[in-house]
Amino acid sequence: MKDNTFTIVGLSGKKLLKGSIPVFGAKNNVLKVMAAAALIEGESTFTNVPDIADVVAMGKLLEDLGGYVKRDEHTLRVNAKDITGTVLNSALAKSMRASIVLLGPLLARFGSVTFPHPGGDVIGERPIDLFISGFQKLGAEFSESGDSYTLKAPQGLSGGEIFFRIVSVTATETFMMAGTKANAPLTLKNCAMEPEVVALAEYLISCGAKIEGVGSSTLVIYPSVLTPPAAPFAIVPDRIEAATFLALGAIAGESITVTGVVPAHMDALLDALRSTGASVTVDGDTVTISAPEVIQPIKLRTHEYPGFPTDAQAPMMVVLTQAEGESTVVETIFNGRLNYTTELVGMGAKISVVNPHRATIKGKTPLKARDIDGPDIRAGLSFILAAAIADGTSHIGNAHLVDRGYEAIEKRLASVGLQITRS
């Protein structure tokens, strides 16, 4: 595949990067509001939309169902008035996990949805039983045929109460959307509270939805008449993208300023970075970071928001390979999300994976250049960070996976002094 490899000339541990890097809209917000737009017989306009592959794929999914999607730089228009399809394109749906949130809008609006097992990053088991059992509680019938599943609720969804046995962002968002067109109020308990979940609720409210408890672990969604929003809806800044750039600053930054962020969304991350000794300054919607002379080891535990985000775990792992002493990372969200550390060990890191959820890191270890294929968005980006501080020139393959979540990553990293190109 053309343009599918990043070439990075390492800094050999020198802290030379400086300048500013802008953060764009959050992948995990824009994909969900695009899905929510399928509830509405009319046009929604979104601004601060990142130019990433997953947005293109979600747009194609909506177009395949009969919707209209138009892109103009960082603005996106979605008109779902003419959507009639209820069968998700298998190849497109399998290309990203976020496709599963379309279950809520399609089932609620049309009484039926057929879908494959969703795909996305290779980071361990991501079961769909929360979705199946949840919709069955709301009166839907479930059937399976070959490698596709169908949910039907010809009389509509009943409303009621769902307790999520595990905190799930996508389940919270899917049922929040579905609840706006249920036959009775829907109460969701043990909900995810991520900023992207809050932003989705705010979009639905701008369309006329009545939702109580936004930002808390209990949501009550009332049946509502939804209409196109009166004003464009701005996608929230991507806090995971910000975390990546800040992690780079913590290991290679003379002074890197990350712009266009919401610092309040990153309390756990900023606390972890400060604990390593990095100089972190917050000023409005910017965060400036400088690498410390000596990086301190820390104990890190991923957790649902407002805890440390699992999607920022891989970049932080690279930081900890440069800490003086022993660090611990506990991954509580996904099985298999530590598998990428094998490649960092190949670059010289001393990482021991104790079990699928726990790793110890002994540093400081100089990293050496290596040719690696990234297995997913976040691990692929962490390999770029590792290559940035390594000795020598690295080639990181599967750039298309990084493109799923980061717009023009090589241009933005080059703007602060990293020698990175794509071929």
Q: Are residues 219 and 264 in the same domain?
A: no
Q: Are residues 159 and 277 in the same domain?
A: no
Q: Are residues 149 and 288 in the same domain?
A: no
In this model, does residue 125 exceed pLDDT 90?
A: no
Q: Are residues 203 and 257 in the same domain?
A: no
Q: pTM here?
A: 0.95
Which structural domain range is residue 133 located in? 27-234
Structural domains of the chain, count: 2
Q: Kindly report the CATH number assigned to the domain that includes residue 51.
A: 3.65.10.10
Instruction: Output b/e per residue, 386-410; b: 16+ Cβ within 10 A.
Output: bbbbbeeebbbbbbebbbbbbbebb
Give pLDDT tens digits for 177-220: 999 999 999 999 999 999 999 999 999 999 999 999 999 999 99
Q: Are residues 73 and 209 in the same domain?
A: yes
Q: Are residues 166 and 291 in the same domain?
A: no
Give pLDDT tens digits for 73-120: 999 999 999 999 999 999 999 888 889 999 999 999 999 999 987 654
Q: Are residues 360 and 223 in the same domain?
A: no
| pLDDT category of residue 133 using cuts at 50, 70 and 90 | very high
